[in-house]
Amino acid sequence: MDTRTKSHVNGISIYQDKHGRDVYYDRLTKDGYLILESNAPRFSFYQKRFLFPLIVFALLLNFDFGSMHVGWVEAGAVALITLLGLEYFFRFKYLKTLTVIPNFKPEKKESFLKKVNRQNEPKILLLKGFLYILFGVLLLIYAYQLNSTGFDLIIMAVISGVVIIVGLTYLYALIVRKKC
């Protein structure tokens, strides 16, 4: 009997144990951490700890601070400090508050498509797919309007391409929903 239930969290390194509970598997310590429904919002915040430094980097480069211009080096330094701070709080503060499952052995990894289909309703898959694609296209339009050239254009095009691929993946998951 399959005990998999709808997860409170999803993403990389998230598994369900034999009892259908969400478990974060830490590859560094080889331990599992039980994620209860009450812990899910905070865990979701820390799951995005690698995204926040990128956002900080982009914001620092694009905002006008009057007479002060923030360059690539300064923005990169602030983003790195943000990443290190978030990683410290995640590993040494937040994970300590969770129930530890020592030497957790993750079962067979569920494919991304199966997990996405299990955790999302069809209308949500459709919405996510179209919104990701729209965001990718809008990024390209934004780069065009800024008359971006060189490194800026390459970065915007790569990010846009990745976002569009994620959107297409959600739409593909919707198409193959019955097969999963």
Does residue 109 carry a pLDDT above 90? no
Bigger pLDDT: 71 vs 157? 157
Confidence of residue 7 (pLDDT cuts 50, 70, 90): low
Higher pLDDT, 116 or 79: 79
Does 98 have pLDDT greater than 60? yes
CB neighbour list of residue 40: distance below 8 Å, 6 or more residues apart: 8, 9, 22
Query: Pick the residue with more confidence: 7 or 33?
Result: 33
**Phi, then psi, of 100 in degrees rounded to 5:** -90, 135
Direct distance between the N- and C-terminal alpha carbons of the chain, in angstroms, rounded to an integer: 17
User: Rounded to the nearest 10 degrees, what angle do helices 112-119 and 150-175 cross at?
Assistant: 70
pLDDT digits (tens, 9 = 90+) for 17-68: 888 888 899 988 889 999 988 988 999 899 889 889 988 887 887 776 767 7
Helix (H/G/I), strand (E/B), else coil: 65: strand
Read off the tokens for 164.
């569009």
Per the model's pLDDT, the better-predicted residue between 152 and 121 turns out to be 121
The sign of the dihedral angle between the CA atoms of 130, 132, 135, 136 is negative
> Whats the size of the chain, residue-wise?
180
Do the Cβ atoms of 168 and 129 come closer than 8 Å? yes
Tokens read off for 163: 């976002």
Where in the chain are the domains? 1-108, 111-180
Mean pLDDT of the chain: 84
More confident residue, 110 or 88: 88
